[in-house]
Amino acid sequence: MKKVLDDMIKAIENFEEIDQVSTPLAKIIGKVTHPRLIKNALSGTWLGHQFHPMATDLPIGAWLSAGVIDLLGSQTPNPTTRKLVGIGILAAIPAAASGASDWSDTVGPDQRVGYVHALANSTALSLQILSYLKRRHGKQKSAVVLSTAALAAVGVAGYLGGHLTLRRGMGVDHSVFQNRTEEWTKVTTSSELKNDKPLEVNVGETPVVLISHNDLIYALSSTCVHAGGPLAEGEVKGDRIVCPWHGSQFRISNGQVVRGPASVSQPCWEVRVVDKHIEVRAKL
């Protein structure tokens, strides 16, 4: 079983023909979700947590509950299961929108697996809509068959979503496993730092970006929390730094996310200058 699943995932990851459809689609979704308010809403920037994993709980929970009641032997039309299926259909809309927004920032194998994940979820949604209509017309048996098939599709989608998160690290805070020393550490001299020009230094093995702005020096972890982009290659715009990969914006003074797709703050470091040497240490 394990080998079959592994082979299936590898086949999807390497199936480059998917790109012909998925890449243009991701670009269109990327454009639609580009405005800051939309991106922040769908990414979970307002929540300090990725929105998509939470948004999926409601449709899955509602559909699964209807499935359990169906299984327990309701042979006659049941208003409760009909309502649960309907609630799941409505709740699937924000779940799909947030997933599509997250997916639009992916490329290569992640994008391919995400595309199949979305196809499985779309299949589930279509089947549940049909099931809902059958339930409204009192056709309980065919409704149950359709809902059961939909749950199977949700299971496939969940497996692929789990793979994206847990095996490929999509949506994981990319700074979380980095070492952050509390010891003051010399990293460079102040003459190396130019106004509003990010400079990457290393604290042990952790890359840190230094920014001189309005005569103050700021330091943030350089690995973008969203997907590991190099913040030191980003642009400083006013009091923010813009990630060069997907455009997340962080306040240089405290790392706060101003624009998604990042949903959590960028880690900050304390800075001091001693005899023209810049020293940093993790800000707790």
Can you tell me the distance from the alpha carbon of 139 to that of 222, in angstroms, rounded to the nearest whole number?
A: 58
For 159, the token pair is 């497996």
Encoded tokens for 42:
């769908």
Which is closer to ligand FES, CB of 102 or CB of 279?
102
**CA 244, CA 97: separation in Å to the nearest integer?**
24
The encoded tokens of residue 115 equal 């595309």
Return the range that interacts with ligand FES (CB under 6 A); candidates 31-39, 122-130, 156-164, 241-249: 241-249
- Chosen residue from 143, 246, 257, 267 binding ligand FES by CB under 6 A: 246
- Residues in 215-234 at the binding interface with ligand FES, rule: CB under 6 A: 224, 226-229
Q: Which of 252, 280, 250, 253 is CA-nearest to residue 265?
A: 250
Would you say 116 or 243 has its CB closer to ligand FES?
243
Single out the residue of 89, 113, 232, 262 in contact with ligand FES (rule: CB under 6 A). Answer: 262
For ligand FES, which residue of 51, 103, 115, 245 counts as binding (CB under 6 A)? 245
Q: At which residue do the structure tokens 């309701």 appear?
A: 74
Query: How far is CA 215 from its chain centroid?
Result: 35
User: If binding is defined by CB under 6 A, does position 251 make contact with ligand FES?
Assistant: no
Output 49 or 186, the one with its CB closest to ligand FES.
49
Cβ closest to ligand FES, residue 150 vs residue 257: 257
Least Å distance, CB 263 to ligand FES, is 10
Beta bridge partners of 202: 207
Count other C-beta atoms under 10 Å from residue 241's C-beta.
29
State which of residues 85, 160, 211, 243 lies at the interface with ligand FES (CB under 6 A).
Answer: 243
**Beta carbon of residue 22, minimum distance to ligand FES (angstroms, whole number):** 18
Closest listed residue to residue 257, CA positions, set 105, 55, 100, 44: 44
The residues binding ligand FES (CB under 6 A) are 224, 226-229, 243, 245-246, 248, 261-262
